[in-house]
Every structure is written in C-alpha cells, then in structure tokens.
Structure 1
Amino acid sequence: MKILCVLYDDPKTGMPKSYALDKLPKIDKYPDGMTLPSPKGRDFNEGELLGCVSGELGLRKFLESNGHQLVVTSDKDGDGCRADKELVDSDIVISQPFFPYYLTREKMETAPNLKMAITAGIGSDHVDLQAAMDRKVDVVEVTYCNSRSVAEHIVMMIVSMVRDYHTQYAIVNNGGWDIADAVQRSYDVEGMHIGTVAAGRIGLDALRKMKPFDVHLHYFDRHRLPDTVEKELNLTFHESVESMVEVCDVVTINCPLHPETEHLFDEKMINKMKKGAYIVNTARGKICDKDAIAAALKSGQLSGYAGDVWFPQPAPNDHPWRTMPHHGMTPHTSGTSLSAQTRYADGVREILECFFDKKEIRNQYLIVQNGELAGMGAHSYSKGTATDGSEEAAKYKKK
C-alpha cells in the first residue's frame, strides 16, 4: 500500500544532534484509565523530533520492511502541491492538526484508493467528515495522546496573559528595566472566574490544573459532568455558553469544530462577555471570528487573546492575529511537544498495525468508520461539514 504522510518542515538549523532530556517521565495510563498507545515495535528513541519531514513519525523502517511505500512531504498548500499529486494513488493519508492537510471532498474524489485518513494527534476537522462518510473513508486519530500537553499549554497561556508576561519579557530582551511599563496590565489570577467551553479530556484537565490557583471554576458542555466531579472541583455548570461568558474573567475554548461551533465567538458573543475578559483558544481557529477578536482587543472589550490555533494553517503573513494588540499567539505547538510526539507516533503505528493485520482499532480512536460517525467521532462531531472553508486553506501558498 501507499501511505502519504504530510508533516511540518524540519528545523531551519537542521535536525537536533542532541536533546535537552535523555529520557521522558514514565506514564502508563491516562487519567481515565485508558492505556497509552502500545504498538508492537518502535523504530525511534522517545523524546526525539518526529513530527517533521525527517522525523517521518518513525514509520519508514516499519512500513518498507512490510512492503509498503511511504511518501513524506510538507508541500501541502496551493494548486499543484506535492501532497495533492501523491494523494491520487494513496491508500492511507496521515496528517497532523498542527500542520493540517485539508482533505476536502474534491481531494477525496481524486483518490479512488483512499481507505483511511489518520490524524497524528487529536482533532480531525481538517478532514471533510461528511465526505469521508459518503465515500466510506475511515477517519481515525490518536485520542488523548496530547490532551495533557494542550491542557498544560492552556494553563501557561492563562497565567502568562493575565500577568502580561510577554510585555515583561520583551522589556528585558530590549535591555530595559521599566517596571511601571511592565506591570501596568499585570494582574493576579487568584480569585478570577475561569470557564471552559466543553469539559472533555482537555477542558476538564485544564480546570483541574487551574484549581490550585484558588479560582472559581465554570463550564459548559453538552454532556454534564458527574456530581462527584462537580463537587471535587466546586464547578458551576451553565446551560449555555452565553450564561457562562457573562460571569467569567477568562474563557478557555476546548470544543470540537463542527457546524454548531463555527464562529461561535463572534461580535455578538464577545459583547456578552465581561469587559476586559480574556480568551484562550487551543481548540480550532474557526470557532472564533478573526476580525471580531482583533476588533475587541483594539476596543478593550477583551484584555487579551491567547490562541494556539488559526485558520487557515499555516496562517497567512497578513493574518490579523499576528499583529493585533495584547495577543499571546503560538503556531499550533500546544500538542506537539516532544513528549506528545512520542505518544502520537506510537499511536499512528498501532493504528497501522491493526489495519494491516485486519484487527479492530481501538474504539476511542475512531472518528468515522463504515460511512458513519463512530467512537469519539460520534461523541464529538455532528453530520454535515465544518470544512467548507478549507478550500481557502487548500489554495493558500506559504511565502
């Protein structure tokens, strides 16, 4: 079989010759009891850079020794890109949410052999899920592999944004010691009201990690948490996003992208928030209206916006979030720490081993199977497509 793997570019300075850590902390299970990916083999050392082109997710030896062809590229944008050319006779395509290959209906129609789309990470909305259902293309992802990584990133963003760390860091880098300038937008997190839109694996973990800061915790979710969890964290449940944002100083967005959540945070929703509130978005860029966010930061309706997700990705050079005031943007790195890369590379190999051996893939990894939403997909997504706008992304050419 032919496997197309679309990964981000190598470091500009070349692949690392050494790493800061020799070993990763040992983790056997996730908090819900689910075990980590457990492939039969591994052809890399844990903690290595695997998510880039030369890293190849550690798959080449395994695939080629079993008679399969592996094609790896970062050329995924614009008409005539290599990924599109290689897709036409591929059986499996692997992509990452951090550097998504937007698998539209049009692209699927050029690939009659396509059987499976694997997300090396979590979040498969870069695939037109309705088209995948219609064409019987299975979609799977490595559920939970980097959820903890993203939750840590959320905490980092909340604290650094409220304390205005970015301004203080810039002052030091520029040789200054301007204390008044450094603290004029700096506050304590303690006592604030923090709310999450969706309290799944990432959202709930972020709340747990924020509890020691002595904050008030809120959440909205389509599926209410058990009473024991609400009591443990002293959570306030809200029946709607609108009722939650009215009382929160910080809102963290952790819901999937689907038709109901696209542009959920538009001008109307932002104006319902407390004046001077903060938003952290590590979910998907299209959940927020990019122009409404930029305008709210300029007007002062929002005090800060920290996001790890953009639309499209990579973000165009003139994307307003690159230059808007009081932002804490990162280039979708929350889920691709070296720790997370080991887990999602292991998970991709486990999925491939199951597929080749005609064994069942873990139910938790399933998004679409046999033309229907399945596993986590049935829990997180709805029929219809949230990737209509991905044609814009697919035609973007990086400069």
Structure 2
Amino acid sequence: MRTSARRVLCVLYPDPVAGYPPKYVRNAIPEIDVYANGQTAPTPQGPPGFQPGQLVGCVSGELGLRHYVESLGHELIVTSDVDGPDSVFDRYLPEAEVVISQPFWPAYLTEERISRAKKLKLALTAGVGSDHVDLGAAAQAGITVAEVTGSNSVSVAEHVVMLVLALVRNYLPSHAFSELGGWNIAECVERSYDVEGMHFGTIGAGRIGLAVLRRLKPFGLHLHYTQRHRLDPAIEDELALTFHSDAESLVRTADIVNLQLPLYPSTEYLINDAMFAKMKRGTYLINTARGKLVERDAVVRAVQSGQIAAYAGDVWFPEPAPTGHPWRTMPFNGMTPHMSGTTLSAQARYAAGTLEILQCYFGGTPIREEYLIVDGGRLAGTGSQSYQLT
C-alpha cells in the first residue's frame, strides 16, 4: 500500500447464512432513471462494480466498491463487526478518512468515536437516514455527512403499504394457520377488516411518507398527515389530504398511524404511554422510520391491553436487536429485521449513489446538494430540511 493511500472503512450487514453469492430469483431489475419528485437516480462516472440486482449490501458484496477504491491506491476495509472496543470497526476507525455505513447495519458514530477519528472527513450513509451519526459532533469536527437521498424511498413506502394490508386483513396469523395445516376461518377473520373507509395518518410526509400516501389513495382511505413543512396545496387537493398541526391531533383521528419522520432529540420516544392513550382503541401502528421514535415497553403494553390492534415495522433500537427484545414475541406484531429499504432494487441505487459520492469526494468536485446532511460545520442540503442539531 502506498503511503498516500487513504482508508475507506465500510460497515455492511453479514452475508447470507447459506453463503455468498445467493441464487438469484430474477435475472434483472427494472431501470429507474428519475424519481417521482424529478430527482435523477445516481449517476456515477463509468459502470458500477456490480450487476444491478446483485446482493451488494452485505460484506462480500462490498457495494461493488473494491475495484474503484483500490484503483486510486486507497485501502478498503469492509466489516460487519461494529460492537465493542475490540471490534474491527473500532480498531480501524482512528486511521479512516471515509466511513461508509448502512442504516440497516449502522456503525454508530457517537461523539466519543468521532473524537478518536482524527482523520475522518466523510461519513457516508449507503441508503437514507443518518441519525446513527452524532450530527452535532460531526459538524463541530468539520466532517461532511452525506447519504443517498431518495435511493430507497419507494422501497420503504411499498413495505408500509404491505404492512397496512397485512395487519388490517390479519394476514400473518391466517398464513400461519394455513402453513400448519389448519382451516380456521373463523379465527382468521375475527380480526380481519377492510381498509376502505379507514383513516390513515402519517407523521412525516417527506419523500417516503408522501410516497405512502400516493400508493394508499386508490384504496379508498381518508388520508391525513402532519409535519413541520406543510405540503403544497396542489398535493393536498390531489390526494384529498387533511393536515394536522401536530401529532396529537392526528393520532386522535387515525385508525392507522404511520411513523415516517427523522429521529432527533425532540422526536425521541414521541410515541409513549401518553400518546397511546390518545389513540382510538384498536389503532394500528406502523414504524419503518426509527426504533427510538417509540418507547419500547409502551408498545408492548399497548398491544397487550388492546389499545392498539397491532404493531409492525422493521426498525429497532438498538440494531441489531437483541434476541430477547420483547417486540420479537409480543402478540399481533409484524416485525422484520431492518430490511424494508434494502431490497435488491434499492441496493442497485444506493450502491451506485455511494460510488457517485466517493467519486465527487476523491475527485474534489461538489457532492449533490440533495445528498448532503452536514457540510461546512452546519446542516446542509436535505439535512437542513430534515434534521435538527439539538
């Protein structure tokens, strides 16, 4: 390795238990060039180091980055070992100039870790969501924080729609009856309803939340939302949206509540015992945003008491969730590991976007404004619209 080499430290989730590469179900994926809001999909220079549709989000996939990084004479270290002072991540962090992490297997860049990462200049999220980085500490240290904005918004939105239908129609228990050889129709339908006519409310209507609303409109639900920045009146009219000035107003109205807002100090544990008490009995709660938006044990109490009918999502705290986490076994849950935003389709986009950002960084050209979260010691780009430093 040349003395001028710079270290890129990349944290990805582990390979499939059955080995890598897997046997792919499909030969290709659709090409998405432009997102619904007009933003272009990632446009790296030259072909990416992978075939779209491949599993590149795990350790052996390496986001397809090895050839590019090593062609510049730099060092690429890829690991899923992020826990504890003797982890691979902590051992290599002090010399890292770039840290790449997924929100799906986050390397938590705490203030303490940032203080030890004297050479760190770029914290890059391969995907969307940078709250695993202490943004205030990063700003003070002059570290640029970037993410591949928009790359998996539709992936998560589709997951939310799936969860809405799965919970309200009581799909998961019904499938279990079928799988176990039963024919328990009465038990299947005693908790099964139509979504038509229900009130659906999303707390947060950014890229993902708005995509959810658009996809649910044809189902005949009454649609509600709340967020800091009110949507354009034309969008409200198009989707017949009802705006609420705060989350409390929304949860009093909704039959289905969806969390789609960023995590920062003022939104931590937004949903707690007091907020559950304001919901209609039998409300469904969906969370594909961040685990710490809800108080863990309050969710368990609300489900067990029947105050909420079911809870589903794929975000936890901490991640990976410990085996004894109560959400794994509480009744009427539709939880999955944090996977909604890392479909093979999404991976093609966020891996390409990661390459695009690295090419800008190493090439000394500006990173796209929409990819920026922190830059120049302050919130920037998408970060200025979505996050708070306090």
1:8 is matched with 13
What residue identity is the alignment partner of 1:220? T
2:3 is matched with none
SS of match in other structure, 2:95: coil
Alignment of 1:228-239 (within 5 A): 228-239=234-245
What residue identity is the alignment partner of 1:12? V
What residue identity is the alignment partner of 2:356? E
User: Equivalents in 2 of 1:310, 1:158: separation in Å?
Assistant: 19
TM-score, scaled relative to structure 2: 0.97
Which of 114, 136, 141 is the aligned partner of 1:135?
A: 141
CA deviations on 1:310-346 (whole Å, 9 max, x unpaired) are 0000001111111111000010100000000000000
User: Equivalents in 2 of 1:181, 1:94: separation in Å?
Assistant: 47
Q: Answer yes or no: is the 8 Å Cα contact 2:156–2:208 preserved in 1.
A: yes
CA deviations on 1:172-200 (whole Å, 9 max, x unpaired) are 11111111111111111111000000110
Q: Answer yes or no: is the 8 Å Cα contact 2:85–2:91 preserved in 1.
A: no
1:85 aligned onto 2:85? no
Q: Answer yes or no: is the 8 Å Cα contact 2:100–2:125 preserved in 1.
A: yes
Which of 244, 259, 265 is the aligned partner of 2:265?
A: 259
Q: Answer yes or no: is the 8 Å Cα contact 2:84–2:90 preserved in 1.
A: no
1:240 is matched with 246
Residue 17 of structure 1: how far off its partner (Å): 4.7
User: Equivalents in 1 of 2:32, 2:132: separation in Å?
Assistant: 29
2:386 is matched with 380
1:19 aligned onto 2:52? no
User: Equivalents in 2 of 1:17, 1:175: separation in Å?
Assistant: 30
1:110 aligned onto 2:120? no
Q: Answer yes or no: is the 8 Å Cα contact 2:16–2:22 preserved in 1.
A: no
User: Equivalents in 1 of 2:248, 2:163: separation in Å?
Assistant: 23
1:396 is matched with none
User: Equivalents in 2 of 1:320, 1:307: separation in Å?
Assistant: 14
CA deviations on 1:10-40 (whole Å, 9 max, x unpaired) are 0000123531111111211001110000001
What residue identity is the alignment partner of 1:25? P
CA deviations on 1:161-220 (whole Å, 9 max, x unpaired) are 111111011111111111111111111111100000011000011000001110100000
1:355 is matched with 361
Quote the RMSD (CA, aligned, Å). Answer: 0.8
User: Equivalents in 2 of 1:245, 1:111: separation in Å?
Assistant: 42
2:39 is matched with 34
SS of match in other structure, 2:218: helix
1:395 is matched with none
Which of 210, 214, 237 is the aligned partner of 2:216?
A: 210
SS of match in other structure, 1:246: helix
1:123 aligned onto 2:126? no
1:337 is matched with 343
What residue identity is the alignment partner of 1:92? V
SS of match in other structure, 1:196: strand
1:46 is matched with 52
Alignment gaps of 5+ in structure 2: 1-5
1:318 is matched with 324
Residue 107 of structure 1: how far off its partner (Å): 0.7
Q: Answer yes or no: is the 8 Å Cα contact 2:200–2:224 preserved in 1.
A: yes
Residue 275 of structure 1: how far off its partner (Å): 0.7
**Aligned length, in residue pairs:** 384
Could you tell me the percent identity over the aligned residues?
A: 55
SS of match in other structure, 1:328: strand
User: Equivalents in 2 of 1:270, 1:299: separation in Å?
Assistant: 11
Alignment gaps of 5+ in structure 1: 385-399
